[in-house]
Amino acid sequence: MLHRGIKFVHAAVLAYSAVLAFLFLRSFEEDWVLGHTAVVWVTDSDNSASGSQVARAVADFAEGQRTTVAREVLDLNAPSSSRHLYLAPGGPHSDWLKEGYPSFNRSYHTDVRPVADLGMRDPRGIYYVFGSDQAATSLTRDFAGLGLTAKVYHPVSLTQLSFNYEGSALYRSFFVVALAVVTMTGAGVLLNAKAYGVLRLQGKSFGQILWRDLRQLAAFWAIAFVAVAATTLLLLGLYNGLAWIGTFTLLALGATLVLGAVALVTHAAMLGLTSQTDVLSALKGELPARAAAICAYLVRVPALLLALSIASAVVVAGQDVLARQESSRAYAKIGDATSIAFNGSLASEAGLKSLNAKVGPWLHQADSDGDIIFAGHRRFGGRGPGDLVNHDVLIVNESFLAAQPVLDSSGHRVTMSDAGPERVRLVIPRSLARYAGRLRGQVPGLLNPVTPDVVSAAKVETVWSKDSQRVFTYNPGGQQRNGEKLGADDSLVTDPVIIAFPNGSPLVSNKLYTDYASQSSIVFPNPDDVTAGIKKHHLETYVMSMTPVAQNAANKLRDLVGDFRLQLFNLAVAVTVLLITGVGVCIVHSRKNAQAIFARHISGWTFTATHRPVLLLEGLLAMLLVVWLPFKVWQQNQDLDRYAALGIPAPRPAAEVTGLDLGVTIALVVVEVAAVLLALAAFHRRIVKEGATES
């Protein structure tokens, strides 16, 4: 009979593959429409063709090429949960115009409209092609004939998916589970060594034993597959009516085949390993110690490093969740305050110039009218004075100071009421007083990067702020999508350096407004001011969406909590792998050296001397774990040294080993060493007890 651990592995592979396919499709659909062959991204236009002309050309192309083309436009008022798809039918999925888009993720809505409804909308943006790659290339050529710059992308290609998801919790989970499959399959085969010895005694060859196991696995698979498939179909039917069930099935089967193949290869390799011992030794449960130990450590070392990486991510994410939950109280007080997002397709130099020329003056005037809160946030980088490295800097307007209390050193609120329109206040915490001169020198470049000379030193007034103040920034910050590393919550910062200016100050450049608006750092307390401004100044081409600031923070918290849960799962699996491989090393060592261990025990050898080889290897492994993180930090900082040698400002602060990193490392070392010591002690006691009984 198969060891029950092996059956558990294959059942877990089926269940995990279904969960992985579900999580991936749900996440992917928030970024891309499902079912497309390619994406054509139009990033520039010479304005020789209007939006309506491009829409007609797309409709003619789709009909002539028997393909379907769809232009995606995010919903202005709910960009995080809704989009509009302007469809030109002619090929696959043309029925969406009548039946609607079948959403896999029920929390994300896709509204389908005819391409003619685009009207005069700017043609720059994302176009989905549902057809062949040749059709996408042909569409790019047609766009070029209309004076548009376009390029073909394949978001579903393996290269692009790996790039987008690398480092994400979902990506890590696959490799963690693969390691677990190797570990548990190997353990199941090795623990069944006596049964395989009996089969060899009966004259069964390696091939016959393997074929017997595969037949039993096939029978188990048939039952497990039906059970998992039925459960999955039921749950998906309740969740989304079995939308995209074909795509889901292919993804789940793909993951199952890969992990199943890993399990089968491991099974065959471990079975071959057990056959290396003679039959009598096999009947006693003995194993080829050297080969088995090497196999265990080949899994154990990467599992340790992966567990360290995951554990650090779990702790950081947990801290971020707590911080965002704390800051959620501040977001609850700001009502419908809204930030805006620009058209990401305006990536060309001409497009960015046009955006600055059109949007900058509108935002500047809105500031003069008191319609916005300017809450720019950045950090000092490089390798400057220790207290300034990575220190928070806020660039704010008068409305910000009116909405968020900032106290000076005497406990009074900092305002701009007695400052002229061409005055700037530099608010510095008392703890940073020795850097006042350096900070004053950076004000012109931070406030007016285009013409910093207009901000003379005489126009900058220094105010000392009270230490230990926490200031609300209106922006949660942090990236949480598709492989991007999760950023810490920036909603509340302690003792920031603040550069404050009167609303609509002429010292502030229009570029500063557009730069920080693109980072969601310009907030409209009244959302109606956004829609009115877009309509009045014809900014539909530039401002693509508006998002309530509180909703944005809530979405980030929701995504982070989901990622945190998945990271916890990854950590639990990685630690399980560590425990199993640790116990496996002890089993191999104890079975191979049982007689020697008993002899040494009755001869008065200490526990440490008796098991010196295993303890030395585990000590080396613990040392590897301890030095790994400092090595990685040193490796990262080598790049910064090259920047310094060239006289170029570093793009990020120097990495360093924190107390949190040390705590996580020590905890993993303790778990790893304790598991091995406990297992070794248990096997030692068992060998001594059995030896004494036989004596």
pTM: 0.81
CA distances from 223 to 7, 220, 231, 236, 584 (A): 11, 5, 12, 20, 30
pLDDT value, residue 584: 78
Residue 692 is predicted with a pLDDT of: 67
What are the start-end ranges of the E strands in 142-193? 148-153
261 burial via Cβ count (<10 Å: 0-12, 13-18, 19+): exposed
CA–CA–CA angle 119, 120, 122 (5° rounding) = 120
Specify the pLDDT at position 65: 92
Lowest mean pLDDT among 23-32, 325-334, 398-407, 592-601: 592-601
C-alpha distances out from residue 629 to 55, 200, 370, 624, Å: 54, 47, 49, 9
Give the pLDDT score at 283: 63
How high is the pLDDT of residue 263? 94
What is the reported pLDDT for 168? 83
Question: Where in the chain is CATH 3.30.1240?
Answer: 32-154
| pLDDT tens column, 257-283 | 999 999 999 999 888 887 777 676 656
Q: What Rg value do the Cα atoms of the chain yield, rounded? A: 32
Residue 367 has, within 13 A of its CA and on its CB side, a CA count of: 30
Q: Does the pLDDT value for residue 513 go beyond 60? A: yes
**What HEC string does 290-310 produce?**
HHHHHHHHHHHHHHHHHHHHH
**Residue 244 pLDDT:** 96
Q: Give me the pLDDT at residue 478, please.
A: 54
Model confidence at 419: pLDDT above 90: no
**Cα atoms in the Cβ-side hemisphere of radius 13 Å centred on 306:** 29
Nearest-angstrom CA–CA distance, 252 and 229:
10
Give percent above pLDDT 70 in the chain: 91
> Quick check: helix, strand or coil at residue 273?
helix
Per residue in 56-110, pLDDT tens? 999 999 999 999 999 999 888 888 889 999 999 999 999 999 999 999 999 899 9
pLDDT at 255: 95
Average pLDDT over residues 472-478: 83
Higher pLDDT, 252 or 476: 252
- Between strands 109-114 and 82-88, the pairing is parallel
pLDDT tens-place string over residues 426-447: 999 998 888 888 889 889 988 8
Q: Which residues pair with 373 in a beta bridge?
A: 523
Q: Which helix (H) or strand (E) is 572 found in, with range?
A: helix 549-592
Checking if the pLDDT of 38 tops 80, the result is yes
- Reply yes or no on whether the pLDDT at 647 is more than 60: no
pLDDT at residue number 449 = 85
Q: Does residue 483 have a pLDDT over 50?
A: no
CATH 2.40.30 fits 32-154, yes or no: no
675 contact partners, CB below 8 Å, separation of at least 6:
578, 579, 582, 583
Say yes or no to pLDDT of 131 above 60: yes
What digits encode the pLDDT tens for the residues 135-166? 999 999 999 999 999 999 999 888 888 877 87
* Residue-averaged pLDDT of the chain: 86
- pLDDT(25) > 90: yes
**492: three-class secondary structure by DSSP:** strand
Torsion of CA 450, 451, 452, 456, to 10 degrees: -160
Any idea what DSSP says for residue 107? T
Under the banding of pLDDT at 50, 70 and 90, the label for residue 639 is low
pLDDT value for 528: 93
- 441 vs 417 pLDDT, higher one: 441
Share of the chain above pLDDT 90, in %: 42
Please give the span between the terminal C-alpha atoms of the chain, in angstroms, as a whole number.
34
Query: With bands split at pLDDT 50, 70 and 90, how would you rate the model's confidence at 480?
Result: very low
pLDDT over 90 (residue 307): no
Model confidence band, residue 251 (pLDDT cutoffs 50, 70, 90): very high
Q: Running DSSP on this structure, what letter comes out for residue 112?
A: E
Q: Which pLDDT band holds residue 567 (cuts at 50, 70, 90)?
A: confident
CA nearest to 65, candidates 149, 129, 151, 155: 129
pLDDT at 380 over 80: no
Q: How far apart are CA 561 and CA 624, in angstroms?
A: 31
Q: HEC states along 369-422?
A: CCCCEEEEEEECCCCCCCCCCCCEEEEEEHHHHHHCCCEECCCCECCCCCCCCC
Quote the pLDDT of residue 695: 52
Q: Which residues contact 9 (CB under 8 A, 6 or more apart)?
A: 181, 184, 185, 188, 263
Torsion of CA 538, 539, 544, 548, to 10 degrees: -100
What pLDDT does residue 484 have? 38
Rounded Cα–Cα distance for residues 619 and 669 (Å): 10
pLDDT digits (tens, 9 = 90+) for 218-227: 999 999 999 9
Give pLDDT, residue 421. 75
Q: What CA–CA distances, in Å, run from 634 to 517, 627, 648, 655, 660? A: 36, 11, 19, 8, 17
Q: CB under 8 Å to 102, separation ≥6 — which residues?
A: 240, 241, 243, 244
Is the pLDDT reported for residue 688 higher than 80? yes
